Chains A and B, each alone.
Chain A
């Protein structure tokens, strides 16, 4: 099997605040694969968690009202005989799973990017693109990621857990309050003081699962770079997104995604003009992140920078549009990027479950269970 003959399913949507953006990413990938006559299925994961087999050449408008017309229901069965994406319809006989070799994961945020879906696919024995369980979970947890980066000596701004009783942090306001878990900029607030930050905890539904606090430094601007780890680490051009809405204090979700094709049409400087030392530092940090997080597929690493200052902000393990627009230097065609992801999914398994060592010796010498409970 090679990338151009692998039976591929593009998966997108999902019960996530980024459900809609994921549809855009998924439709782009499916369209690109279908255009190159690759065998491709498009699998839509609805906001309510149901799976649907849909046409690979649908438009975004077909999803505006929900599940598109003509969609066919599926179940994701993990584990055992007949695992995989199984048509839900057939009343006669037992339906077989769709014949698939690789799942191209285009989910953003929520359970498609936080390791949940990855776990289900691992248990179903399906190869998939993008992060494995651990990398996905780590990339989605801003607190854990910053802590790990700091421990590895990478430059990060202070980032602490915000609780209802937080009355002291080691740095001064103003602050940025962010959801601890979650992908894009949804739910981010800038606040003047800790009391306001605590008040946001109750008022902002995106902070329900936890929030982190960090210093707000308006002079810092975003820098983004995409990375691939396989077969050997490679970095894309560096992008400097430009803010459109003067009033908005930080690059918001609307700046990134609303108004067309997703990030590919947002205003930006690409490649960004960087001082040589900053460019070198950024490169070194990005390569360190590739190993720390175990990047698989394509990840986007976001930095904050001003002058000679550079901070690692976060890693996006399944970025919008799969960050295809960043591959201008070196130039990579989208189909080649997808082919590389598919090949990697097959050649570099996401999970290696092992039962080595469980050879029965413990069981043989165990004696009765009742005796253990006594």
Chain B
């Protein structure tokens, strides 16, 4: 073997090993997890304001981690439009991570306007629990600019806020660090404590990005079981909606509160089952919720229209 043959064959062998590791452990799983292929926007035409919200009745949808603008995000958005046709809802609670692969200001049309056009045209309102940039959100100018853009473009009143629709009070939280954890988090927690204590509606729904309980890739958010869960239990919150992990999961009621992860807006990651898990599935999905009097019915719907989970919560006594 001469010098050239030695060099070329060595390069080939090293390249083979490097390619195997790079592709097998990095690139192909990434292609399978991400939603990079751009998709066509849904073209459904929906009846405007077809929902029926009364003091004891409301329908809404919850959607998390849908910010790719790819085919899978479009498939979920398309299914939402189809569901609206049969079961109209006037509100979409967005559970964070509404923009991937760029900043929201540049990608507003791709990740929000285009997929949601049928619902926007139908007059559906969107309320956001911010969630982009999972960590260090408030520690960079870019992070702050991203939050500002999201709040401004979606007309969101602030990083954390409350809204009332029919018989339900919604509490949207900024779950990033230091939103609910660490130094500087006491302000939001005090606000939440006071607002929950003052809420007198029949149903209390909390929406945030990071899940207090999850069996997925990210898992339960450390610290929430000490900081958030006792507070939610103390104020008899009925339903907590979260994203972050790209799957669907519902817990058994924990101190009377049901926790749902609905992060399958455009990507999927694996999910296991833990002792608090009632239902878990790695799938694209969104959650449709009907509140009618003392009964809350949640339905997790896959992009093909099939139902991954359906559950009912009865209102607490005295409400």
Q: Do A and B bind each other?
A: no
